[in-house]
Amino acid sequence: MKITIVSALVVSATSFAPNARTGRTSTAVLDTLNGWSPDESEFAWGLPGALPPFEGGFDPLGLSTGTPLSTMKQWREAEVQHSRVAMLAALGMLVVEEPIEYHPLFEAYNKDIGPAIRHLDEVDAVSPFFLAFLTIAIGSVEWNRALRGFSKPEGSFAFQQLNDSYYPGDVGFDPLNLKPSDPEEFAAMQTKELQNGRLAMLGAAGMIAQELVDGKEIFVSLGLAADRFDPSSVPIQF
Protein backbone atom coordinates (compact mmCIF):
# COMPACT_ATOMS: atom_id res chain seq x y z
CA MET A 1 0.00 0.00 0.00
CA LYS A 2 2.91 2.33 0.66
CA ILE A 3 4.11 1.79 -2.90
CA THR A 4 0.60 2.63 -4.02
CA ILE A 5 0.54 5.80 -1.92
CA VAL A 6 3.89 6.93 -3.31
CA SER A 7 2.68 6.39 -6.85
CA ALA A 8 -0.61 8.11 -6.15
CA LEU A 9 1.08 11.21 -4.82
CA VAL A 10 3.77 11.21 -7.51
CA VAL A 11 1.33 11.76 -10.32
CA SER A 12 -0.53 14.76 -8.96
CA ALA A 13 -3.05 16.68 -11.05
CA THR A 14 -1.69 18.05 -14.31
CA SER A 15 -2.89 19.93 -17.41
CA PHE A 16 -6.16 21.78 -17.94
CA ALA A 17 -4.38 25.00 -18.88
CA PRO A 18 -5.33 26.97 -22.02
CA ASN A 19 -2.83 27.32 -24.81
CA ALA A 20 -2.65 28.62 -28.34
CA ARG A 21 -3.70 26.33 -31.20
CA THR A 22 -0.81 24.32 -32.50
CA GLY A 23 -0.60 23.21 -36.10
CA ARG A 24 0.73 19.94 -37.41
CA THR A 25 4.03 18.82 -36.03
CA SER A 26 7.07 18.49 -38.26
CA THR A 27 8.02 15.11 -39.74
CA ALA A 28 11.22 15.08 -37.67
CA VAL A 29 9.19 15.37 -34.49
CA LEU A 30 6.60 12.81 -35.59
CA ASP A 31 9.33 10.18 -35.81
CA THR A 32 9.75 10.46 -32.02
CA LEU A 33 6.04 10.29 -31.19
CA ASN A 34 5.61 6.53 -31.40
CA GLY A 35 4.20 6.68 -34.92
CA TRP A 36 1.33 8.99 -33.99
CA SER A 37 0.59 11.78 -36.46
CA PRO A 38 -1.74 14.50 -35.11
CA ASP A 39 -4.87 14.79 -37.25
CA GLU A 40 -7.21 17.66 -36.42
CA SER A 41 -10.06 16.01 -38.33
CA GLU A 42 -10.09 13.00 -35.97
CA PHE A 43 -11.36 12.78 -32.41
CA ALA A 44 -8.73 13.90 -29.88
CA TRP A 45 -6.32 14.58 -32.75
CA GLY A 46 -6.16 10.87 -33.51
CA LEU A 47 -4.75 9.79 -30.14
CA PRO A 48 -5.49 6.13 -29.30
CA GLY A 49 -7.85 5.19 -26.50
CA ALA A 50 -11.26 4.41 -28.06
CA LEU A 51 -12.92 1.01 -28.40
CA PRO A 52 -16.22 -0.08 -30.03
CA PRO A 53 -18.88 1.19 -29.92
CA PHE A 54 -17.10 4.53 -29.32
CA GLU A 55 -14.53 4.44 -32.12
CA GLY A 56 -15.44 8.04 -32.91
CA GLY A 57 -14.84 9.07 -29.32
CA PHE A 58 -17.02 9.44 -26.24
CA ASP A 59 -17.40 13.11 -25.37
CA PRO A 60 -21.01 13.92 -24.42
CA LEU A 61 -20.04 17.39 -23.14
CA GLY A 62 -18.08 18.28 -26.27
CA LEU A 63 -14.93 19.17 -24.35
CA SER A 64 -12.69 18.06 -27.20
CA THR A 65 -14.41 20.17 -29.85
CA GLY A 66 -11.99 22.80 -31.09
CA THR A 67 -9.41 21.88 -28.47
CA PRO A 68 -5.84 22.86 -29.52
CA LEU A 69 -3.30 20.10 -29.99
CA SER A 70 -1.15 21.36 -27.12
CA THR A 71 -4.10 21.27 -24.72
CA MET A 72 -5.20 17.84 -25.92
CA LYS A 73 -1.73 16.47 -25.24
CA GLN A 74 -1.86 17.97 -21.73
CA TRP A 75 -5.21 16.30 -21.09
CA ARG A 76 -3.92 12.95 -22.33
CA GLU A 77 -0.80 13.28 -20.18
CA ALA A 78 -3.03 13.81 -17.14
CA GLU A 79 -5.34 10.94 -18.08
CA VAL A 80 -2.51 8.46 -18.61
CA GLN A 81 -0.74 9.34 -15.38
CA HIS A 82 -3.95 9.24 -13.31
CA SER A 83 -4.86 5.92 -14.94
CA ARG A 84 -1.58 4.40 -13.80
CA VAL A 85 -2.04 5.69 -10.28
CA ALA A 86 -5.61 4.40 -10.14
CA MET A 87 -4.64 0.90 -11.29
CA LEU A 88 -1.99 0.70 -8.57
CA ALA A 89 -4.40 2.15 -6.01
CA ALA A 90 -7.26 -0.22 -6.82
CA LEU A 91 -4.98 -3.26 -6.63
CA GLY A 92 -3.12 -1.96 -3.58
CA MET A 93 -6.26 -1.37 -1.56
CA LEU A 94 -7.35 -4.97 -2.04
CA VAL A 95 -3.92 -6.48 -1.34
CA VAL A 96 -3.26 -4.73 1.98
CA GLU A 97 -6.69 -5.41 3.47
CA GLU A 98 -8.49 -8.52 4.70
CA PRO A 99 -8.18 -11.34 3.79
CA ILE A 100 -4.81 -10.98 1.95
CA GLU A 101 -3.23 -8.35 4.18
CA TYR A 102 0.20 -8.09 2.61
CA HIS A 103 1.92 -5.07 4.19
CA PRO A 104 5.44 -4.09 3.07
CA LEU A 105 5.92 -2.01 6.24
CA PHE A 106 3.75 -3.71 8.87
CA GLU A 107 3.48 -7.13 10.51
CA ALA A 108 -0.11 -7.87 9.62
CA TYR A 109 -0.27 -11.05 11.71
CA ASN A 110 0.12 -8.93 14.87
CA LYS A 111 -2.85 -6.68 14.25
CA ASP A 112 -5.25 -5.51 11.59
CA ILE A 113 -4.62 -1.79 10.98
CA GLY A 114 -7.91 -1.28 9.20
CA PRO A 115 -8.99 0.35 5.94
CA ALA A 116 -6.27 1.25 3.47
CA ILE A 117 -7.32 4.89 3.37
CA ARG A 118 -5.92 5.37 6.90
CA HIS A 119 -2.65 3.42 6.59
CA LEU A 120 -0.60 6.55 5.99
CA ASP A 121 -1.75 7.74 9.44
CA GLU A 122 -0.11 4.65 10.90
CA VAL A 123 3.07 5.36 8.95
CA ASP A 124 3.16 8.92 10.26
CA ALA A 125 2.66 7.73 13.84
CA VAL A 126 5.23 4.92 13.72
CA SER A 127 7.89 6.51 11.50
CA PRO A 128 7.31 10.24 10.83
CA PHE A 129 10.65 10.58 9.04
CA PHE A 130 9.31 8.28 6.35
CA LEU A 131 7.06 11.10 5.15
CA ALA A 132 10.13 13.29 4.57
CA PHE A 133 11.65 10.49 2.49
CA LEU A 134 8.35 10.13 0.67
CA THR A 135 8.34 13.82 -0.22
CA ILE A 136 11.88 13.64 -1.58
CA ALA A 137 11.05 10.54 -3.63
CA ILE A 138 7.96 12.19 -5.10
CA GLY A 139 9.89 15.32 -5.96
CA SER A 140 12.65 13.31 -7.66
CA VAL A 141 10.25 11.37 -9.88
CA GLU A 142 8.26 14.47 -10.79
CA TRP A 143 11.47 16.37 -11.52
CA ASN A 144 12.51 13.66 -13.97
CA ARG A 145 9.11 13.74 -15.67
CA ALA A 146 9.23 17.52 -15.94
CA LEU A 147 12.69 17.45 -17.51
CA ARG A 148 11.60 14.85 -20.05
CA GLY A 149 8.17 16.07 -21.05
CA PHE A 150 7.65 19.72 -20.15
CA SER A 151 8.93 22.80 -21.95
CA LYS A 152 11.37 25.14 -20.29
CA PRO A 153 9.74 28.34 -18.99
CA GLU A 154 11.30 30.62 -21.56
CA GLY A 155 10.16 32.61 -24.58
CA SER A 156 6.53 32.03 -25.59
CA PHE A 157 5.54 29.73 -22.78
CA ALA A 158 2.24 28.46 -21.36
CA PHE A 159 1.70 26.81 -17.98
CA GLN A 160 2.46 23.05 -18.07
CA GLN A 161 3.30 23.21 -21.76
CA LEU A 162 4.59 19.90 -23.15
CA ASN A 163 7.52 19.56 -25.51
CA ASP A 164 6.56 19.04 -29.15
CA SER A 165 8.69 15.88 -29.17
CA TYR A 166 7.06 14.41 -26.05
CA TYR A 167 4.38 11.75 -26.44
CA PRO A 168 1.90 12.00 -23.53
CA GLY A 169 2.72 9.43 -20.87
CA ASP A 170 5.97 8.20 -22.40
CA VAL A 171 8.26 8.99 -19.47
CA GLY A 172 10.94 6.53 -20.55
CA PHE A 173 10.36 4.06 -17.70
CA ASP A 174 10.30 0.56 -19.17
CA PRO A 175 12.59 -1.73 -17.12
CA LEU A 176 11.03 -4.88 -18.61
CA ASN A 177 11.25 -3.58 -22.19
CA LEU A 178 7.53 -4.11 -22.81
CA LYS A 179 6.99 -1.11 -25.09
CA PRO A 180 6.27 -2.32 -28.67
CA SER A 181 8.39 -0.90 -31.46
CA ASP A 182 5.55 -1.21 -33.96
CA PRO A 183 3.31 1.92 -33.93
CA GLU A 184 0.07 -0.07 -34.30
CA GLU A 185 1.00 -2.41 -31.46
CA PHE A 186 1.94 0.58 -29.32
CA ALA A 187 -1.42 2.24 -30.02
CA ALA A 188 -3.24 -0.99 -29.11
CA MET A 189 -1.27 -1.29 -25.87
CA GLN A 190 -1.98 2.31 -24.91
CA THR A 191 -5.68 1.82 -25.62
CA LYS A 192 -5.69 -1.15 -23.25
CA GLU A 193 -3.83 0.86 -20.63
CA LEU A 194 -6.28 3.76 -20.89
CA GLN A 195 -9.38 1.58 -20.80
CA ASN A 196 -8.17 -0.31 -17.75
CA GLY A 197 -7.05 2.94 -16.16
CA ARG A 198 -10.42 4.60 -16.69
CA LEU A 199 -12.14 1.65 -15.04
CA ALA A 200 -9.61 1.74 -12.21
CA MET A 201 -10.22 5.45 -11.60
CA LEU A 202 -13.92 4.73 -11.10
CA GLY A 203 -13.18 1.63 -9.03
CA ALA A 204 -10.63 3.29 -6.75
CA ALA A 205 -12.88 6.29 -6.22
CA GLY A 206 -15.76 3.98 -5.30
CA MET A 207 -13.71 1.97 -2.82
CA ILE A 208 -12.31 5.09 -1.17
CA ALA A 209 -15.79 6.57 -0.85
CA GLN A 210 -17.10 3.32 0.65
CA GLU A 211 -14.37 3.21 3.28
CA LEU A 212 -14.93 6.85 4.15
CA VAL A 213 -18.62 6.12 4.70
CA ASP A 214 -18.44 3.05 6.94
CA GLY A 215 -14.77 2.78 7.98
CA LYS A 216 -14.61 -0.86 6.96
CA GLU A 217 -12.34 -2.75 4.60
CA ILE A 218 -13.72 -3.59 1.17
CA PHE A 219 -14.02 -7.38 1.52
CA VAL A 220 -15.42 -6.93 5.02
CA SER A 221 -18.14 -4.64 3.65
CA LEU A 222 -18.90 -7.28 1.02
CA GLY A 223 -19.22 -9.97 3.70
CA LEU A 224 -16.30 -11.94 2.24
CA ALA A 225 -13.87 -11.49 5.14
CA ALA A 226 -13.99 -11.32 8.92
CA ASP A 227 -13.69 -7.91 10.58
CA ARG A 228 -10.61 -8.12 12.85
CA PHE A 229 -9.96 -4.38 12.97
CA ASP A 230 -9.85 -2.80 16.41
CA PRO A 231 -9.80 1.01 16.06
CA SER A 232 -8.22 1.37 19.50
CA SER A 233 -5.14 -0.53 18.30
CA VAL A 234 -3.96 2.24 15.97
CA PRO A 235 -2.64 5.68 16.92
CA ILE A 236 -5.20 7.55 14.81
CA GLN A 237 -8.76 6.95 15.95
CA PHE A 238 -11.73 6.87 13.55
What confidence tens digit (pLDDT) does each residue in 189-220 have? 999 999 999 999 999 999 999 999 998 999 99
Burial of residue 198, with CB atoms counted within 10 A of its CB: 0-12 exposed, 13-18 middle, 19 or more buried = middle
pTM of the model: 0.80
Cβ count within 10 A of residue 174: 9
Weakest mean pLDDT among 155-164, 186-195, 218-227:
155-164
**CATH number of the domain within which 111 lies:** 1.10.3460
Cβ count within 10 A of residue 37: 13
Residues in binding site for chlorophyll a? 64, 79, 82, 192-193, 196, 198, 210
The answer to the question of residue 238 being in a domain is no
Residues in binding site for chlorophyll b? 84
The answer to the question of residue 168 being in a domain is yes
Write out the residue range of the structural domain in which residue 226 sits.
2-17+71-233
Residues in binding site? 64, 79, 82, 84, 192-193, 196, 198, 210
Q: What is the mean pLDDT of residues 145-173?
A: 88
Q: What is the mean pLDDT of residues 130-136?
A: 90
- How confident is the model over 28-56, as pLDDT tens digits? 334 447 889 999 999 999 999 988 888 88
